[in-house]
Structure 1
Amino acid sequence: MSEEKLKGLKDEAVGKVKETEGKLTDDKVRKTQGKARKKAADLKEDIEQGAEKLKEKFEKDDENK
């Protein structure tokens, strides 16, 4: 598992904890921070997957030359 993937999983977990903490304490700011952190982790994962697909595409194109 890549280091970036691990960071993304950590960010998602921290986001979940913050969101849950915000719900339990009725802290809207903390809840929103948690949601934002989870969303950022999701976006990072999407970007990483896109980058990996591009890398594979270029490698495949290079093999065909």
Structure 2
Amino acid sequence: MPYSKDVNKPLTPKMKQFCEAFVENGCHQQEAYRTVFGDVPNVRSKASQLARNPRCQEYIGFLLDEA
């Protein structure tokens, strides 16, 4: 059975913070991830995964439209 993401599920507070930091710092994934989660191993990979999350993409799009 393929993995499906529930796009109707609300963002977690950390995901929301990541999206806001992403927009505030000029769309730099790694900087946004470090702002929220600190300097952890595999920042590049984890930031990319979060930025590709459909729920995050929708919220980032909303934030960019408002800016």
TM-score range, shorter chain: under 0.3
Superposition TM-score, scaled by structure 1 size:
0.26
Point out which structure has higher relative CO (alpha carbons under 8 A, 6+ apart): 2
Larger Rg: 1
Superposition TM-score, scaled by structure 2 size:
0.26
